[in-house]
Amino acid sequence: KQEVTQIPAALSVPEGENLVLNCSFTDSAIYNLQWFRQDPGKGLTSLLLIQSSQREQTSGRLNASLDKSSGRSTLYIAASQPGDSATYLCAVLTSGTYKYIFGTGTRLKVLA
Amino acid sequence: DGGITQSPKYLFRKEGQNVTLSCEQNLNHDAMYWYRQDPGQGLRLIYYSQIVNDFQKGDIAEGYSVSREKKESFPLTVTSAQKNPTAFYLCASSIGLAGGLAKNIQYFGAGTRLSVL
């Protein structure tokens, strides 16, 4: 059974710092991995999707990498800003299923 | 604007009552999903549908029911059998099998917060 873990659960950093969020999964047979942002009381916004055949994806200050063999993905945020404060979730779509499995998220606070 | 609309934003349920959460999408997506989110937990899948007139139970389907009579609509009913319905409910959609599962991006609505009176 696929399990997705995100560490740390919460993170507080000063503005301008580069930071890395981690996502681990137990079954490497996946179609894709997706990173989301969730603001308090809101729905999820898709940030990046990495297909199983890809190693990384970039969008602006965000870079996500995927290492299937080790069951890990990282989300790198460059030059963090207070507006980046939110909860970041990762989700994997396991091969042979149509079900996304979500991690519990990392709650990020960027201090001005 | 293309997107997913969930209504209502807030909903209150009396004991013994069934309530229905609406989810509509105009993205022409085949696949639709319902998730439940509790504080400090990740999203848990309630039901999903890959095509009209077909749906599958997720991990926590007990006490919930759905229908998929139209491509753009996937309503969720929280029945009186669901003893702990207080949560944030999220609907999502993706292009589905036709787009290739590796490329399936999930898009989410703004959510419905359900509370028990």
What does the block give as tokens for A52?
């199983």
Within 8 A of A91 by CB-CB distance, chain B residues are 43, 106
DSSP state, residue B70: B
Predicted confidence (pLDDT) at residue B69 exceeds the cutoff of 70: yes
Instruction: State which residue of chain A sits closest to B50, comparing Cα positions.
Output: A98
What average pLDDT does this structure show over B60-73? Answer: 97
Angle B106-B112-B113 from CA coordinates, rounded to 5°: 130
Ordered DSSP codes for chain A: ---EEEE-SEEEEETT--EEEEEEES---EEEEEEEEE-TTS-EEEEEEEETT-SEEEETTEEEEEETTTTEEEEEE-S--GGG-EEEEEEEEETT---EEE---EEEEEE-
Predicted confidence (pLDDT) at residue B35 exceeds the cutoff of 80: yes
What does the block give as tokens for B84?
């702990």
Q: Which of A6, A24, A30, A44 is the mutation pick for testing B, counting most B CBs within 10 A?
A: A44
Within 8 A of B40 by CB-CB distance, chain A residues are 104
- Give the tens place of pLDDT for each residue, A32-73: 999 999 999 999 999 999 999 999 999 999 999 999 999 999
* Confidence band of B1 (pLDDT split at 50, 70, 90): low
Element (H, E) at B56: strand B54-57
Q: Is the Cβ–Cβ distance between B106 and A46 less than 8 Å?
A: yes
A102 to B92: CB separation less than 8 angstroms, yes or no: no
Cβ-nearest to A34 among B58, B105, B113:
B105
Predicted confidence (pLDDT) at residue A87 exceeds the cutoff of 90: yes
Within 8 A of A89 by CB-CB distance, chain B residues are 42-43
Predicted confidence (pLDDT) at residue B99 exceeds the cutoff of 80: no
Cβ-nearest to A46 among B6, B90, B105:
B105
State the first-to-last Cα distance of chain A, in angstroms, to the nearest integer: 41
Q: Nearest CA of chain A to the CA of B55: how many Å?
A: 11
Q: Nearest CA of chain B to the CA of A46: how many Å?
A: 7
Contact A31/B at CB under 8 A: yes
Predicted confidence (pLDDT) at residue B95 exceeds the cutoff of 70: yes
Backbone φ and ψ of B99, nearest 5°: -90, -5
Q: Any bridge partners for residue B93, and if so which?
A: B32, B107
Cβ-nearest to B43 among A42, A98, A102:
A102
Predicted confidence (pLDDT) at residue B60 exceeds the cutoff of 90: yes
- Give the tens place of pLDDT for each residue, A77-86: 999 999 999 9
